[in-house]
Amino acid sequence: MQNYYISLILSQATQEVVSQVPLSTDEEFKAAVSAAKKAYPLWRNTPITTRQRVMLKFQELIRRDMVSILEHSMTLTFILNQRNTHTGAQYL
């Protein structure tokens, strides 16, 4: 079983833990950086109006599916909490 690490999200007002966010593994981070490096030349040469349309569509989809995104995020956090024995706070 792979270890998962989480970062604790604290309320600024009370300093109580209000949420936990799973952290990516080194492999996931490296894969994301590699994908971004490969995609950048094409994105850089894409006209600004096309990039604006892409980002506005992305914003529209996030807003449309916000409830579902949050529900899945909370489910994932719950699952990771069940598996996790470490918290990000231990590494601060």
Query: pLDDT tens across 23-71, in order?
Result: 888 898 899 999 999 999 999 999 999 999 999 999 999 899 888 877 7
Report the alpha-carbon distance of residue 20 to residue 30 in Å, rounded. 22
Between 78 and 14, whose confidence is greater?
14
Q: Do the bridges between strand 6-10 and strand 17-22 make them parallel or antiparallel, or are there none, so unpaired?
A: antiparallel
Report the alpha-carbon distance of residue 81 to residue 25 in Å, rounded. 16
Cα angle: 18, vertex 21, 27; to 5 degrees: 170
Report the alpha-carbon distance of residue 9 to residue 81 in Å, rounded. 14
